[in-house]
Amino acid sequence: MTGNHDDLRSLLKLTLTPGVGPVLCERLLRHFGSAEAVAAASPADLQRVEKIGPRTANTIARGLRESDRLVDEELALASKLGVGYFPRGSDAYPAMLEDIPSPPPLLGAMGHFEPNGADRFGVAIVGSRRCSAYGMEQAERFAGVLASAGVTIVSGGARGIDTAAHRAALRLGGRTIAVLGCGLAECYPPENKDLFAKIASSGRGAVVSELPLRTKPASENFPARNRIISGLCLGVLVIEASERSGALITARLAAEEHGREVMAIPGRVDSPASAGTHRLLKAGGAHLVTEPRDVLELLERPALHLHEGNHAPLYTQPASLFAPGAEDGGRRTTAAAPPAPPGDEPVASAIVAALDEPLTLDEIAQSTGLGIAELRAAMTALEIRGRVRRIAGRFGRVASGF
């Protein structure tokens, strides 16, 4: 677990105290200076905090006094589940979350979570739980290519678009973060139990939550969860959102409160599943993107600004595909080569070998035996890397790419 043990216990006391959410927790920490000082405060001390009256002060003080047993149980369960903690103020706490209003005071994570390292270039992919086949295909295509380009795919672990994005990132060898609207001892939706276990055990991502471990999923948890998804990322990509989709909340937070880029993929004009996406695009609330390359180009500038300017030296300048550069005495050196295309290198080699002459996507699929969704992701990555090019609806080999 990350952070001083006493500080961690005190933060857990706060998060386990009824009525103390992120906003109130931030006010308390700002007033007292540390979680330990909050935990030791009397009701009279607590009433000196802005907007805390006698009743609230007594409730908080009583909750803090009675929380020692709950903290012991929480820590024992965390140890059993393999949960690591990231307290705000520690070196390991996500630097980008410091920029958002009311950052979570404490994050728990199962798996391999490196918000200031391997996961510093994140893109959120969000959308409908009841997505169409088109939405599923686009989520897989974009997540697969972006993950293969070194971008961490962040989403909420929900049905539909979220699940497709997480699975594609893992399948194609990339990193992914699932931010839950329940505690890490719970599983929602239940059918994603195996997916969350795979993310946590893969060494290429983590399942994350700010909530106490046994917190059940509830509707009020998800808007707060969405702010973490947006906050961890350089930008948010919306794929199929209806007029009332929670994905639009994430997009609004990203644009209005977090200063992140918002992008959207157009859908069928007569599809209710894309009505919210189209409204977002018509209102100028999102960049229209049709290829993963569009996302990479849009995020070059914010990646440089956020990761060199505000949080140096934790971050380095991205290359064209966000490959991190090496640091040498505070100076950037040449960035590493872009990662391999989606899947194993033999997949890319098989595709390129099939291109003795320009072929359509269907012809390449027939020649290589690859599925269309996987093939589209691979072809986009190969185009980005300059190994193939599109010629009048067909794909041809680029000799200089070898």
pLDDT in tens, 236-282: 999 998 888 888 888 988 888 888 999 999 998 999 989 999 999 99
User: What's residue 316's pLDDT?
Assistant: 27
Reported as a pLDDT band with limits 50, 70 and 90, residue 356 is: confident
Task: Specify the amino acid at residue 195.
Answer: L
The count of other CB atoms within 10 Å of the CB of residue 284 is 7
Mean pLDDT of the chain: 85
CATH 3.40.50.450 boundaries in the chain? 112-298
Most confident of 90-104, 174-188, 236-250: 174-188
- Does domain 112-298 bear CATH number 3.40.50.450? yes
- Give the residue-averaged pLDDT of 109-119: 95
- Give the residue-averaged pLDDT of 326-350: 45
Q: Is the pLDDT of residue 323 over 50?
A: no
User: What's residue 340's pLDDT?
Assistant: 40
- Does domain 5-73 bear CATH number 1.10.150.20? yes
Q: Is the pLDDT of residue 180 over 90?
A: yes
Q: Is the pLDDT of residue 3 over 60?
A: no
User: What's residue 341's pLDDT?
Assistant: 39
> Residue 291 corresponds to which tokens in the numbers above?
């290829």
- What's the Cα-to-Cα distance from 123 to each of 31, 235, 242, rounded to whole Å? 34, 5, 21
Q: Is the pLDDT of residue 320 over 80?
A: no
- Which fold, 345-401? Arc Repressor Mutant, subunit A (1.10.10)
User: What's residue 336's pLDDT?
Assistant: 32
User: What's residue 245's pLDDT?
Assistant: 85
Comparing 300 with 103, the larger pLDDT belongs to 103
**pLDDT of 134-159, one tens digit each?**
999 999 999 999 999 889 999 999 99
Q: Which residue from 226, 158, 207, 216 is spatially nearest to 183, judged by alpha carbons?
A: 216
- Give the residue-averaged pLDDT of 36-58: 93
Q: Is the pLDDT of residue 230 over 50?
A: yes
Lowest mean pLDDT among 85-99, 106-120, 199-213, 310-324: 310-324
Reported as a pLDDT band with limits 50, 70 and 90, residue 382 is: confident
- Give the residue-averaged pLDDT of 49-65: 93
Phi, psi (degrees; rounded to nearest 5) at 77: -70, -40
Alpha-carbon distance of 157 to 29, in angstroms, equals: 30
Asked if residues 25 and 39 have their Cβ atoms less than 8 Å apart, the reply is no
> Which residue, chain included where needed, has tokens 């009841």?
130
User: What's residue 102's pLDDT?
Assistant: 87
Q: Is the pLDDT of residue 109 over 60?
A: yes
Q: In sequence order, which residues have a C-beta less than 8 Å from that of residue 358 and are 6 or more positions away?
A: 391, 392, 394, 395, 396
Q: Is the pLDDT of residue 66 over 60?
A: yes
User: What's residue 306's pLDDT?
Assistant: 60
Q: Is the pLDDT of residue 211 over 70?
A: yes
CATH 1.10.10.10 boundaries in the chain? 345-401
User: What's residue 330's pLDDT?
Assistant: 32
